[in-house]
Amino acid sequence: MQTVKTLQMLRTTLGQLRSAAGHGRARIALVPTMGALHEGHLTLVRRAREAADHVVASIFVNPRQFGPNEDLDAYPRQLAEDAAMLEAEGVAVLWAPTPEAMYPAGFATNISVAGVSDGLCGAARPGHFDGVATVVCKLFNQVQPDMAFFGEKDFQQLAVIRTMARDLDLTHPHVDAIIGVPTMREADGLAMSSRNRYLTPEQRTAAAVLPEALAMAAQTIAAGDQPIWLAKSVVEDELQLAGFRLDYIAVVDAETLAPIEELAGRPARILVAARIGTTRLIDNMAIVPRD
């Protein structure tokens, strides 16, 4: 695995990878991350390995997607450890730009995806999805992958990226496919996240209530046992009891992310963001109606 830190090196390395393919063009998959890797990230890498000839993983703690009072400085950084994990998974290139390489002096462009960015985490974290869209657009242009892998764990982020790629014609001929990968969970159901390491042992135990409550709500809504408003208020109560402060709970159309009051035969999703202590956790699940 080659670790590259400048755009010039990235271009040289990718050029070599592509031309070494012999006949035809090697297919390259991109897995963007902010590092502090866990099994969730590695699952994306494994899926990418199966689908492409070469995997490029990026590690960049993107300042533009953190708000002024968020955890940018505290965000875990462990490049050597992450690099070893990626190498063991057969990643060909680790793209690890510095903030200065990504945003040179005078950088002035912002990508803002209206609609899907507005509610949910977008409302709770103003500017967050502009930061995400801007950096992912740059990563797509820098790497020009044939496909890119993202986790459903960040469901709204996935919708924002799909919309941006479609609107800016990033999907053809490059980034042919944006692939969403189901959320990897700990044994007790908690979605894996780099931020879980902020939790105290007591908070970590309590955090299992989040996926439990969400799964129960998804099930009762799907079965038609409770109206959506009631199922949401049950989750709210359960989270409060477990020591969470709720940012939002929403049931939305899985494509538009518009809130829905009842199932209308279209894919739906339940999403939650809640704080325990100073840590903000998010999770979401599909609502699959029974036939």
Q: How many CB atoms lie within 10 A of CB 150?
A: 21
Does 150 help bind ligand AMP (rule: CB under 6 A)?
yes
* Residue (3 or 131) nearer to ligand AMP, CB: 131
Say whether 248 sits in a helix, a strand or coil.
strand
Does 151 help bind ligand AMP (rule: CB under 6 A)?
yes
Interface pattern 13-52 for ligand AMP (x via CB under 6 A) = --------------------xx-----xx-xx--------
* Footprint of ligand AMP on 221-260 (CB under 6 A): none
Please state, in angstroms and rounded to a whole number, the distance separating the CA atoms of residues 213 and 60: 33
Cβ proximity of 15 and 55 under 8 Å = no
Does 137 help bind ligand AMP (rule: CB under 6 A)?
no
- Max distance between CA atoms of the chain, in angstroms, equals 61
CB of 237 to ligand AMP, least distance (A): 26
Q: How many CB atoms lie within 10 A of CB 218?
A: 21
Please state, in angstroms and rounded to a whole number, the distance separating the CA atoms of residues 175 and 209: 37
> Exactly one of 4, 192, 218, 231 binds ligand AMP (CB under 6 A); which one?
192
Q: Which two tokens stand for residue 28?
A: 């390259």
* Residue (41 or 232) nearer to ligand AMP, CB: 41
Where on the chain is the footprint of ligand AMP (CB under 6 A)? 33-34, 40-41, 43-44, 150-151, 153-154, 181, 183-184, 191-194
